[in-house]
A and B are shown apart, each in its own frame.
Chain A
Amino acid sequence: MTAGWRHTERPFPWRRSLWIAALLTPALVVMVLFVLWPLLSAFRLAFYEFSGLRPSGFIGLENFRQVLFEKPYSDWTYNAFKHNVIAFLALMVFENGTAFLIAFALLKALPGHRVHQVIVFMPVVLSAVIVGFLWKLFLHPLFGLVNQLLGLVGIAAIPWLGSENTALGSILFANIWHWLGFPTLVLLAGMQRISKDVLEAARLDGAGDYALMTKIVWPLIAPSVTIVTILTFIGSFNWFEIPYVMAGLTGSPGGSTDVLGLYFYRTAFGSTTTGIQDFGQGSALAVLMFIFVAGVTAIALRYLRRREIEQ
C-alpha cells in the first residue's frame, strides 16, 4: 500500500507541495493580517511623534525615553509594571498553589469529586466582564454581600475597591475566583498521567499524603507546571479585562490598580474624561510589553524544560 502510494506521488511532487501550501495559506493570511501586521505597525508607530491623531515626524527612541525615564510617564509605567509583577506572584502562590492542592484532592477520587471538579471549573466559562461586574457588586461598600456578611459579625464597612490598601487584592481575588479551575484541570491532567504503579509503590513504602505530594506528584507533573507558569506569566502581563471592569481605565483609586494593559490603552486611545490620545507613546509601551513578555517567556521556557528533564 505504502509503496503504491509512493509510486503514484513520485511523478507529481508539486501536487503535495501545493496541497500543503493550500492548507497553510488561510492560517498564514490570518497570522499576517491580524498578528504580524499590527505588531510591525506598532513597532513603526513607536518611533513617531503624533500631532493630533496622525504621525507628524520620526523621533527615534524619544517615546521609549519618555515612558521609561521622564516623569510623570515613567512613574506611571513603573507603577503599572509593579502591579503586574505583584499579580504574577500572587497568582502563582494563591491561584496555582490552591489549584495544586485541589487537583491533588480530586486525584484521590473522594466521594463527590466529579461534582467538585465541575464546580471548580464553572467560573472559567464565564466572561471576565460578568465576573468583574459580579464581584464589583459583591464588594460594594454599602450594599455588597461581603460587607453585609462582615456586618453580621460586627465588622464595619470596608471600601474594598475604594482603598489603595485593598483594591488590588480585591481584584486579584476576583481573578483567582474566575480562573482557579483552569490550572486545577491542567495540573489534575498531569497528575492523572502518573502511573498508578508508581503511586501504589510509594504508598506501600509508607509514604503519606504529604510525602506523596512533594516527593512523587510534584516532580512528575513538571510539564504541567511549566505550562501553568508560562500561561500565568503571560496572563499577568496582559491583564486587562477584570481591572478595567472593577477599577476603570485609570486604575483607581490613585493608580493603585493600574496595570500595563490599562496604561497602554489609556495612553494610546485616551478616554473621554482625560483627553489626549497618543499612539506613539502607546505603541512604545506595547513594544516594551511585547519584548518583555516574549523575552522572559523564552528564557523561562528554556529553564523550566531543563528542570523537567533533570527531574
Chain B
Amino acid sequence: MSRRRIGLALAAASFAWGFASSVAHATDISFWTWRQEDKAAYNELFGDFTKANPDIHVKFESFPDENYPTIVSTALAGSKGGDVIHTHAYGWLEQFVKAGYFEPLDMATVPSLANQPADALVSGTYRADKKVYSLPFASQTLGLFINKDVFAKAGLTPPTTWDEFITVSKALKEKGIYPLANGMGTSWFNEMFVAIFTNPFLGQDFVGDLTSGKTTFKDPRYVAALGKLLELRPYMPDGFEGIDYETAGQLFLSGKAAMLAGGSFDIATYRSQNPAINMDFVAPPMAKAGDTPQATKFFDGGYAVNSKSANKEAALKLVNWMGTKEFGDKFSALLGNISPIKGVVIKDELLSHVAKLNETAMPHINVVYFRFEKPTGSELLQGDITKMMSGSITPDQLAADLTDGLAKWYKPFQGK
C-alpha cells in the first residue's frame, strides 16, 4: 500500500472518528409540559436553541392538563420524568420543591434570572429557603373581553365603571344580546371570575392589609365586593349556573354575548377559533370614575430542572436560554402570551395593551397567597361561590368559610 493510500485511509478514519464522536456527544433532553397545543411553537423555539447549541436536542413531551400533577409527581417520585419540567407556580411548585424534585437555580447556573422582574421571581421561589426553582415563563392577566362589533351594532360604548356596566348591560339585554357571556359551570374559572370583578372594589390596600394580617376575608370590603357579584346575575345567560367557560367563549365569539370575563391566555385561542373577531381586552369595571383600572395578574408557572436529571448541565443551559430576551420575544410572538422577561418587545397591539394593564394590575389573591397549604383558598372559594351565586349562602357566609378554612394553616387568620 502506497504512502498516499495510507494517508488517505488515515484521513478518512479521523473524519469518521470525529463525526462519530460529535454524534455520540450530542445530548438528548426532554421537556415535559401540559401545553399540548403549544407543541409547534415550542419545537420551533427548541430548534433555535439547538442551532445555538448543536450538541443539545430537546424533545417536547406533553400530558393532559387535568392529570399533569399526578403524572409528574409519580414520575419524579420514581426518579424519572423530563429533564426540564414545565411547572405551575406558587403553592403547586412548592410541594414539588419540598420533596426535593427540582434543582435550585442561581445566577451562576442560570444568569438569565437577572432578566426577570421581582414579582415574577416570587412565583418560582420556595418560601422556606428563598431560592428560585422555576424560571417564570408568562404572566396572565384577567379582565374583560369586549366584542367591539356587537357594541358598534348596538350603538353602545364599552363600560369603564360599575354603574356604566349595569346601564350598558340593561341596554344590551333589551336588544336581545347577552351582556355577559359567563356562567358558573367551570370551577377553576369561577375563582377567576370572582377575582376579576371584586379586585377593582378591593384595591391594593386590601391586599396589603390581608397579607400583613391586619384583616381577613370577613372584612366588610371583601363582603361588599362579593355582594357586587350578585348584581351580575340578571345579565348572565339563561341557566348561567350550568354554563361552562367553553360555552361562554362560544357565546362571545359568535356575537350572542357582548362581554366575557376571561384571561389573556385565551386571546390566541379565540383568534384561531374566529379569525374575524373584532375584540378588545380591557380592565373590568372600576368602582367609580377616576379610579385606577385594575385588571388581575398572576404568573402562570415556569421551567424547572429535574434534580435527578442525568443531563443536568444541558437542562440548565436550556432553562437559562428560556430566560433570554431572544426566547421571550419569539415566545410572545408565537404563543400570544406575555413573557415577563425585561425588555421583551410585544408587537401585537392587543397583547401590548394587556401588558400595559399589567402595570396597574392587582395580584390574583388566592393563587398568589393562599394555595400553599390545605385547605387551599381555591378549594374553599370554588366550593362556595356557586352556592352564593345561586342564593343558598350569603357573601358573609362565604367570607367566613374562606377565613375559617384558611385559618387552619394561615396564622394571621387564627382566632379572628
Q: Using CB atoms and an 8 Å cutoff, list the residues of chain A in contact with chain B.
A: 51-54, 71-73, 139-143, 147, 156-164, 248-250, 252-255, 269-278, 281
Choice from B92, B241, B374, B383 contacting A250 with Cβ under 8 Å: B383
Q: Which residues of chain A are within 8 angstroms of B188 by Cβ–Cβ distance?
A: 271-274
Do A254 and B384 contact each other (CB < 8 Å), given the known contacts A272-B34, A277-B95?
yes
Instruction: Determine if B241 and A162 form an interchain contact, defined as CB atoms under 8 angstroms apart.
Output: yes
User: How many Å lie between the Cα of A253 and that of B184 in the bound state?
Assistant: 8
* Interface presence of B218 (CB below 8 A): no
Known: A162-B183, A274-B371. 17 other contacts (CB 8 A): A51-B99, A52-B96, A54-B77, A54-B98, A72-B404, A141-B241, A143-B247, A159-B183, A163-B242, A249-B66, A250-B187, A250-B379, A252-B187, A253-B185, A271-B188, A275-B378, A275-B379
Q: Which of B69, B95, B239 has a CB less than 8 Å from the CB of A159? A: B239
- Interface residue from A160, A249, A271 paired with B242 (Cβ < 8 Å): A160
In the complex, the answer to whether B375 meets A72 with C-beta atoms within 8 Å is yes
CB-defined A-B contacts under 8 Å, sample of 24: A52-B94, A53-B96, A71-B404, A72-B404, A139-B242, A141-B237, A141-B243, A142-B243, A158-B239, A159-B242, A161-B185, A162-B183, A162-B240, A248-B186, A250-B382, A252-B382, A252-B386, A269-B67, A270-B92, A271-B66, A272-B68, A276-B373, A276-B376, A277-B69
B368 to chain A, nearest CB (A): 12
Residues on B with C-beta less than 8 A from A141 are 183, 237-243
Measured CA separation A147–B187 after assembly (Å): 23
On whether A276 and B239 interact (CB within 8 A), knowing A53-B101, A254-B390, A269-B70, the answer reads: no
CA distance A163 to B378 in the complex (A): 20
Pair A147/B239 contact, Cβ less than 8 Å: yes
B291 interface contact, C-beta 8 A = no
Max chain A Cβ within 10 angstroms of own Cβ: one of B34, B97, B188: B188
Which chain B residue shows the least CB distance to A162?
A: B242
Q: Contacts A274-B379, A274-B382 given; indicate if A253 touches B66 (C-beta within 8 A).
A: no
Once bound together, how far apart are the Cα atoms of A141 and B405, in whole Å? Answer: 32
CB-CB contacts of B354-379 with A at 8 A, as 1s and 0s? 00000000000000000111111011
* A52: nearest chain-B partner, CB-CB: B98
B370 to chain A: closest residue by CB: A275
User: Assuming A142-B247, A159-B242, is B187 touching A276 (CB within 8 A)?
Assistant: no
Task: Give min CB distance, B181 to chain A, whole Å.
Answer: 11
B242 touches A52 (CB 8 A): no
Q: Point out the residues of chain B lying under 8 angstroms from A54, CB to CB.
A: 77, 98-100
B361-416 interface (Cβ within 8 A of A): 371-376, 378-380, 382-384, 386-387, 390, 392, 401, 404-405
Contact string against A for B residues 86-109, beta-carbon threshold 8 Å, 1 for contact and 0 otherwise: 001001101111111100000000
A147, B98: Cα distance in complex, Å: 49
Cβ contact within 8 Å between A53 and B77: yes
CB closest residue in chain A, given B242:
A162
Interchain CA distance A254-B242 in the complex, whole Å: 12
* Residue B73 lies at the interface, judged by CB distance under 8 Å to chain A: yes
Contacts of B237 in A (CB 8 A): 141-142
A272-B34, A273-B191 given as contacts; is B238 within 8 A of A156 (CB)? yes
Partner of B98, one of A53, A72, A254: A53
CB-CB under 8 A from A163, the residues of chain B are: 241-242, 390
Given contacts A142-B247, A276-B374, contact A253 B98 (CB under 8 A): no
* Interface check B48, CB cutoff 8 A: no
- The reply to whether B91 and A276 contact each other, CB–CB distance below 8 Å, is yes
Task: Write the nearest CB–CB distance from B415 to chain A, whole angstroms.
Answer: 16
Say what secondary structure dominates the interface of chain B: helix
Partner of A164, one of B65, B73, B94, B392: B392
Interface residues of B (CB under 8 A from A): 34, 65-70, 73, 76-77, 88, 91-92, 94-101, 183-188, 191, 237-243, 247, 251, 371-376, 378-380, 382-384, 386-387, 390, 392, 401, 404-405
Which A residues are CB-close (under 8 A) to B70?
A: 269-270, 277
Instruction: Report B-chain residues with C-beta under 8 Å of the C-beta of A274.
Output: 188, 371, 376, 378-379, 382
Residues of A within 8 A of B380 (CB): 72
| Closest chain A residue, CB of each to CB of B90 | A275
A contact residues around B94 at 8 Å (CB): 52
**Across-interface contacts of A53 in B (CB, < 8 A):** 73, 76-77, 95-96, 98-99, 101
Scoring B240, B376, B383 by chain A CB atoms within 10 A of each residue's CB, the highest score goes to: B383
Given A160-B242, A275-B91, are A270 and B69 also a contact pair (CB < 8 Å)?
yes
| Residue of chain A at shortest CB distance from B98 | A52
Query: Is B69 a contact of A269 with CB atoms below 8 Å?
Result: yes
Shortest Cβ distance from residue B205 to the other chain A in the assembled complex, whole angstroms: 26
How near does chain A come to B333, taking the closest CB pair, in angstroms? 26
- Are the C-beta atoms of B66 and A52 separated by less than 8 Å? no
With a cutoff of 8 Å between Cβ atoms, the chain A residues found around residue B184 in the complex are 162, 253
- Identify A275's interface contact among B98, B376, B386, CB under 8 A: B376
Known: A52-B97, A141-B243, A254-B386. A272 touches B378 (CB 8 A): no
Nearest CB in chain A: distance from B356 CB, A: 27
B371:A275 contact, CB within 8 angstroms: yes
Could you say which residues of chain B place their CB within 8 Å of the CB of A162? 183-185, 239-243, 386
Select from chain A the residue with minimum beta-carbon distance to B379: A274
Q: Give the complex CA separation of A23 and B241 in angstroms.
A: 56
Determine if A248 and B187 form an interchain contact, defined as CB atoms under 8 angstroms apart. yes
Contacts of A143 in B (CB 8 A): 247
Which A-chain residue is minimally distant from B239 (CB atoms)? Answer: A141
Give Cα A6 to B77, complex, Å. 55
Cβ contacts under 8 Å, A248 to chain B = 186-187
Q: Which residue of A has the minimal Cβ distance to B65?
A: A272
B186 to chain A, nearest CB (A): 8
Asked whether B88 lies within 8 Å of A272 as measured between CB atoms, the reply is yes
Measured between alpha carbons, how far is A112 from B49 in the docked complex, in Å? 68
A51 to B98, CA, bound (A): 7
Residues of chain B within 8 A (CB-CB) of A160 are 242
Given the complex of chains A and B, what is the CA–CA distance between A271 and B378 in angstroms? Answer: 10
Pick the residue among A52, A249, A253, A276 that contacts B386 (CB under 8 A).
A253
Bound-state CA distance A59–B112 (Å) is 43
Leading 8 A-B pairs by shortest Cβ distance: A162-B242, A52-B98, A141-B239, A162-B241, A159-B242, A273-B188, A159-B239, A253-B386
A residues less than 8 Å from B404 (CB atoms): 71-72
> B186 to chain A: which residues have CB within 8 Å?
248
State in angstroms the CA–CA spacing of A164 and B388 once bound together: 11
